[in-house]
A and B are shown apart, each in its own frame.
Chain A
Amino acid sequence: ETGVTQTPRHLVMGMTNKKSLKCEQHLGHNAMYWYKQSAKKPLELMFVYSLEERVENNSVPSRFSPECPNSSHLFLHLHTLQPEDSALYLCASSQDQQWGNTEAFFGQGTRLTVV
Chain B
Amino acid sequence: GENVEQHPSTLSVQEGDSAVIKCTYSDSASNYFPWYKQELGKRPQLIIDIRSNVGEKKDQRIAVTLNKTAKHFSLHITETQPEDSAVYFCAASITGGATNKLIFGTGTLLAVQP
Contacts and interface: CB of A to CB of B under 8 A. Distances in A.
Nearest to B6: A42
Contact of A42 (B31, B103, B104): B104
Interface string B74-114: 00000000000001010101010011111110110000000
Contact of A31 (B46, B91, B95, B100): B100
A106 B99 contact: no
A95 B103 CA distance: 16
Interface residues of A, number: 28
Contact of B107 (A43, A50, A53, A100): A43
B100 A42 contact: no
Closest 9 CB pairs of A and B: A50-B99, A43-B104, A55-B98, A106-B43, A42-B107, A100-B95, A101-B93, A101-B100, A55-B99
